[in-house]
Amino acid sequence: GGMDFGVGAVMSSAAILTTTIMNSQDGRFFPLLFAALSMGATVGLLNGICTVKIGLPPLIVTMAISNVITRMQYVLTQGSPMGYASPSFIKSVTSKLFGLQFLPSIILYGLIIIPLVFYLLNHSRFGKQVYLLGNNPVAARLNGVNINRVQILTYVFSGMFAAFAGMLGAAYMNAARCQIFDEYAYNSLIAVIIGGTSFSGGVGTYTGSIAGSLVMVVLSNLLTAMGLAQPTRNVFMGLIMIVLLILYNREKKVRQ
């Protein structure tokens, strides 16, 4: 199984792209969508090539590329906030459905993405190959699966979905700056592990990952309600990540 620690950096970069391209102007959604998804796919492709073709460890590769992306953000923005999303895009993610405060319209994007990804993972040939590859690479190869192609495509999809999430985040928060979503690199991994996904691959469900994400939202809100500052919350999440990495190494040794 592989992992992608660059999700947060891609989200932050997509957020900066959103506010830079839109610059408070309507009618620029599709050029932005193309630019953001292309950026995410390029980062994912680079991650895939480095891990699959060159054979470098996914953890090291994705963290290194994430660091490069972050430095590029500072070079391009000089560390300053970059504009705002368009009014119509902001409204599409912040309006309240049926006038209910706990139902932001960003949920509508989820109602489109969730079934799409569910179908991709559970009913498409690619999704079945992903599970087979994660569970047993040797068996996958013997069954005719192009494991290099599947692994690289997985990183590409990861980058594209992270970029789209960054777009939505920029509109929802009406802000974009360097590293604004970097914490999601760890939060996303913690969420899928809580949802039952194995670090070693081959085990886990998309619905479980969604449930894990909801748990993370509740946990984050709880820590905020306790009055803990962002650095303290980061330390807490870091400790959880250390425990998960220890469990990952133990699981990997058992499987070997």
Encode pLDDT of 205-220 as tens digits. Answer: 788 888 888 888 888 8
CA–CA distance, 235 with 241 (Å, rounded to integer): 10
CA–CA distance, 243 with 241 (Å, rounded to integer): 5
- In the listed set 147, 166, 182, which residue is the last one of a domain according to the structure? 182
3-state secondary structure of 96: strand
CA–CA distance, 97 with 108 (Å, rounded to integer): 9
The mean pLDDT of the chain is: 86
- pLDDT at site 251: 62
Q: Are residues 18 and 134 in the same domain?
A: yes
More confident residue, 3 or 95: 95
Q: Are residues 211 and 228 in the same domain?
A: yes
Query: Whole domain around residue 188: which residue ranges?
Result: 184-256
Classify burial at 99, counting beta carbons within 10 Å of its beta carbon; exposed 0-12, middle 13-18, buried 19 or more: exposed
Contacts with 34 (C-beta within 8 Å, 6 or more apart), sequence order? none
Q: Are residues 128 and 205 in the same domain?
A: no
More confident residue, 101 or 69: 69
Classify burial at 256, counting beta carbons within 10 Å of its beta carbon; exposed 0-12, middle 13-18, buried 19 or more: exposed
Contacts with 66 (C-beta within 8 Å, 6 or more apart), sequence order? 5, 6, 8, 9, 182, 185
Q: Are residues 168 and 212 in the same domain?
A: no
- pLDDT of residue 256 exceeding 60: no
- pLDDT of residue 254 exceeding 70: no
Q: Are residues 129 and 158 in the same domain?
A: yes
User: In Å, how far from its chain's centre is CA 66?
Assistant: 12
pTM of this prediction? 0.86
**Which pLDDT band holds residue 1 (cuts at 50, 70, 90)?**
low
Q: Are residues 149 and 46 in the same domain?
A: yes
CB 178 within 8 A of CB 196: no
| Segment 155-185, tens digit of pLDDT | 999 999 999 999 999 999 888 888 888 888 8
Q: Are residues 96 and 45 in the same domain?
A: yes
Backbone angles phi, psi at 176, to 5 degrees: -155, 130
User: In Å, how far from its chain's centre is CA 154?
Assistant: 12
Q: Domain count for the chain, please give it.
A: 2
Residues in the chain: 256
**Which pLDDT band holds residue 149 (cuts at 50, 70, 90)?**
very high
Closest CA to 238 of 173, 168, 187, 182: 187
